[in-house]
């Protein structure tokens, strides 16, 4: 398989993984503002906040290959990018599994009791890990597995633009999921119970995520309306800059929303600030610091 086809397949698979992540990511935020959330135990609330952070980590890891493709490779396909996409996709599934188990515990605790809820959560987390990692050892590996000896060729403009639009679609679902639930929770009683500072932070997070969604939709609009669907280097440059720019408000918006989630779950603004700062540092490191260091190294 040609390198460009390998990279395209890897990006498509990353897109599938983030589509699976977006539902759980948004649901965990929505759970915190349901009326029945008041009946969730302190342990369940803590697990919900922890699961939300784990899903934010999953989304951050899944977006990282796209940022490296834009900032490090300039849209060109390389063996390094292909390997990095594989590594980050695998890493993203590690926090996903326990987060899924935690969500099962939270929703089942009231109905089935803590013991059965814990058993169900642990079982689903284990099943996920088995199918995502364990089953790999049961499958006979092909003899020519992802070699690194193919020649790296100049990627045609059309392919680079196609991959750039795919990367926009990789980032967009995560932003869409959280934006929809951000609008919805503002009409719940749980949101009214938050302190005024959390209200302000939530509105700021909503505005940032909305801006990210707008920026991520812009490349498709520009390609269709301005360029009439024709490929050009100018459009590739514009699209790349829009995608990179969108990562800034998206990371900030998710980090600020984590503050709101932690305040709702723990009633502790201090923990909220710590969680938001950790998430912001994680996104900054994965999406900007590491790619820029790699670019400086390879140049």
Q: Quote the CA–CA distance of 5 and 279 in Å, as a whole number.
A: 33
Residue 258's domain spans which residues?
Answer: 3-298
**Residue 51 pLDDT level (bands cut at 50, 70, 90):** very high
Residues 6+ apart with CB under 8 A from 79: 3, 148, 150, 152
Domain count, the chain: 1
Over residues 100-127, the mean pLDDT reads 93
**Residue 154 pLDDT level (bands cut at 50, 70, 90):** confident
Q: Quote the CA–CA distance of 77 and 7 in Å, as a whole number.
A: 7
Q: List pLDDT tens digits, range 200-241.
A: 999 999 999 999 999 999 999 999 999 999 999 999 999 999
Over residues 11-22, the mean pLDDT reads 88
Contact status, residue 46 vs residue 270, Cβ threshold 8 Å = no
Q: List pLDDT tens digits, range 174-207.
A: 788 889 889 988 988 889 989 999 999 999 999 9
Q: List pLDDT tens digits, range 164-179.
A: 999 998 898 878 888 9
Residue 141 has pLDDT above 80, yes or no: no
**Residue 34 pLDDT level (bands cut at 50, 70, 90):** confident
């Amino acid at each position: 398989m040609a390198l460009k086809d390998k990279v395209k397949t890897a990006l498509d698979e990353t897109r599938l993984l983030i589509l699976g992540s977006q539902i759980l990511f948004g649901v965990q935020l929505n759970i915190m503002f349901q009326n029945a959330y008041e009946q969730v135990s302190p342990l369940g609330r803590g697990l919900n906040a922890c699961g939300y952070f784990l899903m934010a980590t999953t989304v951050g890891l899944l977006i990282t290959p796209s940022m490296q493709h834009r900032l490090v490779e300039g849209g060109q396909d390389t063996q390094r990018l292909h390997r990095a996409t594989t590594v980050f996709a695998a890493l993203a599934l590690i926090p996903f599994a326990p987060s899924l188990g935690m969500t099962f515990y939270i929703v089942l605790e009231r109905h089935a009791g803590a013991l059965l809820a814990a058993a169900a959560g642990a079982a689903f987390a284990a099943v996920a890990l088995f199918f995502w990692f364990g089953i790999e050892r049961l499958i006979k590996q092909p003899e020519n597995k992802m070699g690194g000896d193919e020649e790296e060729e100049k990627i045609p403009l059309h392919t680079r633009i196609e991959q750039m639009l795919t990367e926009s679609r990789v980032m967009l679902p995560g932003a869409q999921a959280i934006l929809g639930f951000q609008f919805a929770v503002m009409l719940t009683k749980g949101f009214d119970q938050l302190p005024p500072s959390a209200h302000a932070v939530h509105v700021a997070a909503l505005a940032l995520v909305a801006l990210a969604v707008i920026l991520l939709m812009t490349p498709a609009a520009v390609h269709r309306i301005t360029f009439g669907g024709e490929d050009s280097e100018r459009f590739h440059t514009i699209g790349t800059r829009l995608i990179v720019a969108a990562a800034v408000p998206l990371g900030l918006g998710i980090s600020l929303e984590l503050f709101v989630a932690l305040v709702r779950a723990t009633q502790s603004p201090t923990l909220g600030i710590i969680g938001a700062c950790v998430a912001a540092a994680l996104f900054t490191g994965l999406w900007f610091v590491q790619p820029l260091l790699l670019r400086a190294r390879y140049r």
